[in-house]
Chain A
Amino acid sequence: MRDRRGSGAGRDEELDREIAFHIDELTRANVARGMTPEEARRQAQLEFGGREQVKQEMREVHTSQAMESARFNLRAALRFLRRSPSFSAAVILILAIGIGADSAVFSAMDAVVLQPLDYPHANRLVALYQHDSKHQNGNTFVAPVRLEDWNHLNSTFTAISGYYTDDMSETSGSLPERVKLALVAPRFLQVLEVAPMLGRDFTAREEHFGGPEAVLISYAFWQSHFHGDPDAIGQKLHVGSFSFSIVGVMPESFAFPDRDVELWTPSPPDAPYAQDRNETWFQAIGRMKPGITIRQAQTDLALVQQGLGRQFPDPDADLTVNSEPLKETVIGGIQGSLWMLYGSVTLLLLIACSNIAALLLARTADREHEISIRFSLGASRRAIVIQLLSEVLALTLAGSLLGLGIAAAAAHEFHLLAKTLPRAQEISLNWRIVAYSLACAVATALACGLIPALRGTRRPLAHSLAQTNRTQASARSRLQWFLVGVQVMLAVTLLTGAGLLLRSLQNLDRVSPGFDASHVLTFQITGSWAETSDMAALQRRIDTTLDALRAIPGVEHAATATFLPGVPAKYQVQFSVDGEQDPNRKILADLRVVSQGYFQTMQIPMLTGRTCRAGSPTSDMVVNRSFAALYFGDSPEVGHVLTQITNTPNPVEGRVVGVAGNDREEGMNTLPVPTIYLCLSAGGPFSYYLVRTHGAPLTMADAIRRRIHQLEPNRSVYGISTLQEHLSDASFNGRLRTILLSLFAVSAVVLACLGLYGTLSYLGRMRQREVGVRLALGALRGQILRGFLLQGIRVACVGCVAGLLLSLFTDQLLKGMLYGVSTVDPSTYLGVLGLILLVAAASSVLPAWRAARTEPTQVLRQE
């Protein structure tokens, strides 16, 4: 048997053979009847008739009907677009905005949330944390020895590794530049399954203490320092006081733990200084074996840690293991915001759809005659529906292409907007986005085209060429009103969400932080964790630097702090007061390490006692008002001794010397929490410097850099920025989502108004005759006007109420993004109601007025 569904040529040959057989048989029969072979064949061919014609007919049986009708429908669709250019342009524009915005937000969603991280089998990568269950100790970093134990004893990971970062100064330029270095535990690249682009990974010898000092450099560092010269491999790199051999160059796309890291070097776990189980060094990462779930991995590690707890009761018995997909760690809490925005922009597209559906409904009504004729010419309903749908598809495809064009053109601005998103550099316009927007086009074509197409063709054949049927018209306008109601409802939902976000922004702007962020310059100076082995020296270094800063003309105050005030960074610690530990009451407080001058620099008022003093003993502490009120009760504040409850070797202990005013150090949207300030210049090697200046803070930047360079030529100043900029960066994502949601909401309201306007105008046209008759019978124009106006407002009201009810549910999604306003804020809801009714009335007035202006004589003459 041959392939009957073969290619056209194969089929043709088959047809030929079938026909040839028939003719041969006829010839044979003729010969049997006594004809000469030539005569027999001639007669046979004659009897068979036009051979080519028969073949053509047989071919037509097989040519795909789908192809034929697709071509026909396409032609009809293009004709339709050309015939009504302004209508087409309006629809395409609405869709371009809807689909373009949706695709743009989807591209961010896709890159940040949906796509796996850019490592092989990235879904097997997890971040691992140790958690001190007994002590309120936020530290989740893992000691090198424990990391090695986890790696040896588990059965669910192919490898576990870890890293931390340090700063170094690179001194080849006129002023030292900071270089960020990642110190990595063994197996780092093995866990990530990334190989150097050039050169090799670390050898086992290099990962051991006393082995050769090796370094991997980033692609950017390779370009800037070696101009991409492959001979960089093997060269010595002098950074700070270190000298490394370059063993490899990482690929350009490699940016782990972040894009700033330029060098990677091993941190040997067998170093003598790394043997303390109380150390907290590494952010641990692991690669699970194939087929292992994160739950299994966590259970496995929990067992491992239990074993370690028996072996090393102090401190391992108190530790538990937590894990989460590495992706969660990388993208942080941005998921909620992105989903919210994606939901809103999709809602907007839905509004655009119902808007266009209403437009099409009116349009199909205008084309009733054309459809009737097609019916009477024998077209099936299916064929007509498909034709109507392909017209809409042509519109939505054009819309989505234009939308993609807009999205591509706006890609640069979008990247700027999204710059604070994690993985922002991975957001791009790729084939997935193109496919998505094409899918959008098909979905919207069905969503806005199906109802009008089915409606427009739902008619018994008997009606064929009959005149417009009034009951049908009113049924259609009911559907149109329904669509308008839906638009209003969805617009209201977006509007309440935007309203709530706007109100919380407003509240935040009104909040007084309790400190003065203006005229404060912030920066950091390179340091290294190695300095923490001699805390006294570190403190001396920072004190000297602070003194030098204070001496610069134009500087009023200078101080250091472990965290920037107003930028969220929680470090919660458990304390006992005066050595007493109430088992029923935990004393929890944020611990902030600040230097002398902090309260003056930040202009935080002192309520009682004194502030941190120069050369004061390292055990001075200042608490804020809410700490004093919560934990000291009525007893005098000054003089209490606070001791950190912890299992680390050097618990923080100090005597309260003063009480400061409450301020929002945890961020503008967080009420002041009980806080303990430890008076210490050096909380760590990377403290933030805060400098209060006379003039504009940034004008001091250069003077400060030069002064620090004089003082310590091997250190560099980095991250120079004003405190206000840090604060606005910290609230940027909140602002961004508010701005975007407001934009979507405004577009939604505009679309809903257009829908209302369009529907009322259409209705006015439809009812022209009725209005004319009523006017002729003595109705007042005012009554007519009121009638139309009320109809529009009534629908808007119903949609509005439905929308507010819907908001009660959808606004729950905003929980956690709001400040000082509840998810069911009555004044926001009332405001939305008022606004919607106002714009609904405004967009109804013109069509209502036009309808009421109908000239009775003119209408009656037309009939």
Chain B
Amino acid sequence: MPPTDKTDLLQGTLDMLILKVVSMGPVHGYAISLRIRQISREVLHVQQGSLYPALHRLEKRGWLTAEWGESENGRQAKFYRLSAKGRRQLTAEEASWNRLSEAVALILQTAEQQA
């Protein structure tokens, strides 16, 4: 069931979303994609083709650590966990994201008022 109205993610945003989801506790790839969809109320569909390379990239950068463990239904799954370095990165990205979205919101409002 491919998503029909998928919203493209800005480059780098996916990384931040993954870090955010993982920051809530150890989680495997399937759960991450599920959670992003649920939390965004089905707006954001992460392609598996993007999710897994991203996970591995973040792991390689040392922002995530990974460990094989047992899933809810008793199967072996690879669980990701946020490292201290990743936590700092997440804080920085959230701050910069907030600044950006405020700025964008400001521009949209101001432009509306002037129009």
Contact = CB atoms under 8 A, between A and B. Distances in A.
A1 B68 contact: yes
A25 B51 CA distance: 15
B67 interface: yes
A58 B52 contact: yes
B68 to A, nearest CB: 6
Contact of A49 (B47, B57, B66): B47
A21 B76 contact: yes
A58 B67 contact: no
A61 interface: yes
Most chain B beta-carbon neighbours within 10 Å: one of A18, A47, A48: A18
A121 interface: no
Interface string B16-60: 000000000000111001000000000000011100110011001
A21 B30 contact: yes
B91 to A, nearest CB: 24
A58 B56 contact: yes
B109 interface: no
A18 B49 contact: no
Interface string B65-79: 011100101011110
B49 A61 contact: no
Contact of A57 (B53, B71, B75, B77): B53
A1 B76 CA distance: 11
B30 A61 contact: no
Nearest to A24: B75
Contact of A61 (B1, B56, B67, B75): B56
Contacts of A17: 76, 78
A49 B49 contact: yes
B49 A54 contact: yes
A747 B68 CA distance: 65
B2 interface: yes
B28 A21 contact: yes
Contacts of A24: 75
A43 interface: yes
Contact of A48 (B48, B60, B66, B73): B48
A22 interface: yes
Contact of B48 (A1, A28, A54, A60): A54
B57 A61 contact: yes
A842 interface: no
Contacts of B76: 17, 21
Interface in A43-66: 43, 46-50, 53-54, 57-58, 60-62
B29 A22 contact: yes
A510 interface: no
Contacts of B1: 43, 47
A470 interface: no
Contacts of A18: 29, 52, 77-78
A491 B22 CA distance: 65
Interface string A7-49: 0000000100111011011101000000000000001001111
Contacts of A83: none
A61 B78 contact: no
Nearest to B57: A61
B40 to A, nearest CB: 17
Given A1-B68, A17-B76, A50 B53 contact: no
Interface in B80-102: none
Nearest to A21: B77
Contacts of A26: 30
B14 to A, nearest CB: 13
B60 A61 contact: yes
Contacts of A28: 73
Contact of B67 (A1, A21, A50, A60): A1
A50 B49 CA distance: 8
Contacts of B30: 21-22, 25-26
Contacts of A14: 78
Contacts of A53: 49
A21 to B, nearest CB: 5
A310 interface: no
B60 A62 contact: yes
B78 A21 contact: yes
Interface residues of B, number: 23
B71 A21 contact: yes
Contacts of B29: 18, 21-22
A861 interface: no
A205 to B, nearest CB: 74
Most chain B beta-carbon neighbours within 10 Å: one of A25, A46, A47: A25
B33 to A, nearest CB: 8
Contact of B52 (A25, A46, A54): A54
Contacts of A21: 28-30, 71, 75-78
A47 B3 CA distance: 9
B75 A19 contact: no
Most chain A beta-carbon neighbours within 10 Å: one of B53, B60, B71, B77: B53
A447 to B, nearest CB: 35
A50 B48 CA distance: 9
Contacts of B67: 1
A2 B49 CA distance: 24
Contacts of B56: 58, 61-62
A227 interface: no
A819 to B, nearest CB: 67
B49 A57 contact: yes
Contacts of A47: 1-2, 48
Given A22-B30, A22-B48, A54 B75 contact: no
A68 B43 CA distance: 39
Nearest to B32: A22
Contacts of A58: 52-53, 56
A585 interface: no
Nearest to A17: B76
A71 interface: no
A4 interface: yes
Contacts of B77: 18, 21
Contacts of A60: 53
Nearest to B47: A49
B56 to A, nearest CB: 4
Contacts of B57: 61
Contacts of A19: 52
B11 to A, nearest CB: 15
Nearest to B61: A61
A2 B77 CA distance: 12
Nearest to A60: B53
A720 B78 CA distance: 87
Nearest to A43: B1
Interface in A694-743: none
Nearest to B29: A22
B52 A49 contact: no
A750 B77 CA distance: 70
Most chain A beta-carbon neighbours within 10 Å: one of B47, B52, B60, B66: B52
Contacts of B60: 61-62
Nearest to A18: B78
Contacts of A57: 49, 52-53
Nearest to B66: A4
B64 to A, nearest CB: 11
A61 B53 contact: yes
A24 B73 CA distance: 11
A795 to B, nearest CB: 50
Nearest to A33: B1
A49 B48 contact: yes
A62 B66 CA distance: 14
8 contacts: A1-B67, A2-B68, A18-B78, A21-B76, A22-B52, A48-B48, A49-B47, A57-B52
Interface of A: 1-2, 4, 14, 17-19, 21-22, 24-26, 28, 43, 46-50, 53-54, 57-58, 60-62
Given A17-B78, A22-B48, 6 more contacts: A18-B78, A47-B48, A54-B49, A54-B52, A57-B53, A61-B60
Interface of B: 1-2, 28-30, 33, 47-49, 52-53, 56-57, 60, 66-68, 71, 73, 75-78
Question: A-B pairs with the 4 shortest C-beta distances?
Answer: A57-B53, A25-B30, A61-B56, A22-B30
